[in-house]
Structure formats: structure tokens, C-alpha cells
Amino acid sequence: MAGGSGTLLGAIALGGMAGAVLRHGLAVAFPHDPGGFPWATFAVNVSGCLLIGVLMVFITEVWTAPRLVRPFLGVGVLGGYTTFSTYAVEVQQALAVGAPRTALLYLAGSLVAALTAVRLGLTLTRLATGARHRRSAG
């Protein structure tokens, strides 16, 4: 493949495989009933959002990352680790078994917690490293 895109895709694929295996392991270790709150998926998605905030500060504000770090960790590992599709299916399953409160709490709670986690990851990493957010002109 021209321009190293094979290497790039390989890094993303390897990272995605690692993230997906970790997520699957957590889902197996912490199962839930269809009408129950899916804590494993919730924890995976929120922790993945926290980690993407941490990662983005490190690779954009703290140090210059090698070319494949962002695709491997950000797209691959964290992309394979987090799961919007499982989140959507679990909301639908909760509705299907007659647990609309659980579905709504999970639907809204995941969104709020995930966005909060990204912000927290960014803020805490900047505080810990002394990095300063670069604002773009314009």
C-alpha cells in the first residue's frame, strides 16, 4: 500500500483487537440481565472517554507522539474498547423487556457521564502535566 497506509491500518487493527478483547472480558466478567443496568458497558464507555481525554492531552500538548501512537491507541485500542453499538442494543433490550426507566437512565446517563469523563481526562491531565490548552486563532 502506498504511503504506509498498510502500516497505519495494521496499527489500528492491532489496537482494535486489544481493545475489543479487553471490553469482551469485562462484559463476560460482569454480565447483566436485559432489564438490568449494564454496568460493564457503562464503565467501559465512560473509562474509554476518560482515557481519550488523557491521551489527547499527551499527544497534542505534552509531547510529540510517534506517527502510529494516535491511530493505535486512540482509534484502535480505545475505539475497540468503547462500544456505541452495544450501548444502543442494551437500551433497546431494556425497552423490549419493559424497563423504560433503566433504558432512559442508561441512555442519558451514559451520554452525560461520557462527556464529563472526556472533560475530566483533559482537565486532570493538563493539571498533572502543566500542559496549557492551545486555543486556535479564529
Q: State pLDDT tens for residues 77-110.
A: 999 999 999 999 999 999 999 999 999 999 999 9
User: For residue 138, is it within any domain?
Assistant: no
Question: Is the model more confident about 63 or about 112?
Answer: 112
What pLDDT does residue 21 have?
Answer: 97
User: For residue 53, is it within any domain?
Assistant: yes
Helix runs in the chain, H state only: 5-29, 39-57, 69, 78-81, 84-96, 100-129
Q: Which amino acid is at 62?
A: V
What pLDDT does residue 2 have?
Answer: 54
Q: Band the pLDDT of 132: cuts 50, 70, 90.
A: confident
Domain that holds residue 80: 2-129
What pLDDT does residue 131 have?
Answer: 83
Angle (CA) 30 22 39, round 5°: 30
CA distance to 59, 71, 129, 136, per residue, from 120 (Å): 16, 22, 14, 21
What pLDDT does residue 137 have?
Answer: 45
CB atoms within 10 A of CB 50: 21
User: For residue 137, is it within any domain?
Assistant: no
Per the structure, how many domains does the chain have?
Answer: 1
User: For residue 59, is it within any domain?
Assistant: yes
Q: What is the pLDDT of residues 18-72, one digit of tens each?
A: 999 999 999 999 999 988 999 999 999 999 999 999 999 999 999 998 999 999 9
Q: The whole model's pTM is what?
A: 0.89
What pLDDT does residue 3 have?
Answer: 57
User: For residue 6, is it within any domain?
Assistant: yes
User: For residue 102, is it within any domain?
Assistant: yes
Backbone φ and ψ of 24, nearest 5° = -60, -40
What pLDDT does residue 138 have?
Answer: 42
d(CA 72, CA 104): 33
Radius of gyration of the chain (CA): 17
Alpha carbon 92 to its chain's center: 21
Per-residue 3-state assignment (H helix, E strand, C coil) for 62-90: HCCCCCCHHHHHHHHHHHHHCCHHHHHHH
Looking up cell 452525560 gives: 112
Question: Taking 70 as the threshold, does the pLDDT of residue 129 lie above it?
Answer: yes
User: For residue 100, is it within any domain?
Assistant: yes
User: For residue 134, is it within any domain?
Assistant: no
